[in-house]
Structure 1
Amino acid sequence: MTASRGRGRPRDPETDTAILTAALELFVERGVEGTSMEQVAKRAGVGKLTVYRRWSSKEDLLAQAIEHWVRAEVTPSAEDVYALRPRDLVERVLPTAAEMSAGADYRALIARVMGSAVSHPQLMKVYWEQYVVPRRELAAAMLRRAQQDGAVAADADLDVLIDMMAGAVMYRVLQPDPPDAEEMLRYLTAVYRQAGLYAPDPPDPPAQDG
């Protein structure tokens, strides 16, 4: 949650981006322990008060920094989730998702996030409540649409399916010999197909003899 802005002081998007970028870089490089609001301010080239006016705690700042990067890369909008078929939506995001998840920066970020779940549960609590839960709700909406289309079993446990999709990606990218973007695209396609979100289009009906 961001802190309330100062009276009469409009937020500068470029300053916000500089702070979020600096926070993410420090988090990946040094973890939660090695990141402070003061260090973030220094790397972003702003004053400490500029950071403190925008974020009430380090956990709030880091949670938004993680989300800022992930959302900019692959997160679809709620409008698209409710307007498009699951297959169409998956086809739109898969190439970018494969490129991102095959990168060293993403692997480093996932490793830091997973480690922080134990060492700094408050960060994970903030990130989970503010960002993961809304994303899971969008995934559930896609799965319910797939249920209506018959691609997902009517009695499927959607929470389990979402855990399986997210867990599969994390497990694969943290392997000692992680896949490149091409292999990651193949793997993600298989994951979404198994979950019922990348069902093939039904075959065209046979032509009627005239």
Structure 2
Amino acid sequence: MTAPAGQRGRGRPRDPRTDQAILAAALELFTEHGHAGTSIEQIARRAGVGKLTVYRRWGSKDELIAAAVESARGEIPSPGIGDLDGMSYAQISQVIAEALPGSARTLAEPGYRAMLAQVFGSSVTHPGLMAAFWNDHILPRRRTAHLALSRAVDEGVLPPETDIEALIDMTVGAVVYRLLRPEPPDADELLAYLRSVYEQAGMIPRR
């Protein structure tokens, strides 16, 4: 069984620069050509390493591409739920609000949007990739949103009958829908929109 990325066995220590080169090559190829147009051989060639070096780190193409996608999240934070547990609504919403400028800058990048389009386009043909993206990229941020909205309900900011899951879905859908426009917003426009959507959803207080 292949050891998980980040672990190393006996012998020479892992070079993090090699990991970064492989992830960068995988991300570039996936964004350019999609899942079907990307192979381990191509990734290894672009990264300047052998195929065995790639397979020692990632056991499958889906696993490698999912890791490459996660590495591209830029300034989009992924706070651990343990870091927020015990915080009040005001404290959690402040963490979320402070993260919005970085998220807007990353989401406004054409390369990031192109990568997301490839991920969504692979959801039916390569469900393993979408499952990995969901578990590694979406769920950690969804848990943060759920915790913030749960606190908002507990503290009376939102009504007790609030459907938190539906509210999160609507928030994410609104952002994705805005990114699909023929002329996507720049970082400043997207930041204003994110703040508006998050305020409407109750994830951050209205100003």
The amino acid of 1:101's aligned partner reads L
Structure 1 counterpart of 2:176? 170
Structure 1 counterpart of 2:140? 134
Larger Rg: 1
Aligned identity (percent) is: 50
TM-score after normalising by structure 1: 0.86
Call closer, same or farther: CA 1:148–1:12 in 2, change over 3 Å. Answer: farther
Q: Is the 8 A contact 1:76 1:93 kept in 2?
A: no
Residue in structure 1 matching 2:78, options 61, 73, 76: 76
Q: Is the 8 A contact 1:86 1:146 kept in 2?
A: no
1:125-204 equivalent positions in 2, closer than 5 A: 125-200=131-206
Residue 153 of structure 1, CA deviation: 2.5
TM-score after normalising by structure 2: 0.87
Larger displacement relative to structure 2 (18-27 or 143-152):
143-152
Residue 136 of structure 1, CA deviation: 2.0
Residue 46 of structure 1, CA deviation: 1.6
Residue 9 of structure 1, CA deviation: 4.1
Larger displacement relative to structure 2 (155-164 or 20-29):
155-164
Partner-residue secondary structure (3-state), 2:10: coil
Q: Is the 8 A contact 2:84 2:92 kept in 1?
A: yes
Is residue 48 of structure 2 the alignment partner of residue 45 of structure 1?
yes
Q: Is the 8 A contact 2:93 2:148 kept in 1?
A: no
Q: How many residues align?
A: 200
| Runs (5+) with no aligned partner, structure 2 | none
Q: Is the 8 A contact 2:104 2:190 kept in 1?
A: yes
Residue 31 of structure 1, CA deviation: 0.2
Is residue 130 of structure 2 the alignment partner of residue 124 of structure 1?
yes
The amino acid of 1:64's aligned partner reads A
Cα deviation digits, residues 39-88 of structure 1 (max 9, x gap): 11111122211110000000000111111221x42123225433472331
Call closer, same or farther: CA 1:91–1:129 in 2, change over 3 Å. Answer: closer
Residue 186 of structure 1, CA deviation: 0.9
Residue 131 of structure 1, CA deviation: 3.7
Residue in structure 1 matching 2:58, options 55, 71, 74: 55
| Runs (5+) with no aligned partner, structure 1 | 202-210
Structure 1 counterpart of 2:32? 29
After the TM superposition, which parts of structure 1 deviate over 3 Å for at least 4 consecutive aligned residues?
Answer: 1-6, 79-84
Aligned-pair Cα RMSD in Å: 2.1
1:79-118 equivalent positions in 2, closer than 5 A: 79-82=82-85, 83=87, 85-118=91-124
Cα deviation digits, residues 113-159 of structure 1 (max 9, x gap): 11011221121122223443333222211221222332232222221
Larger displacement relative to structure 2 (144-153 or 164-173):
144-153
Structure 2 counterpart of 1:67? 70
Is residue 18 of structure 2 the alignment partner of residue 18 of structure 1?
no
CA distance in 1, matches of 2:94, 2:105: 18
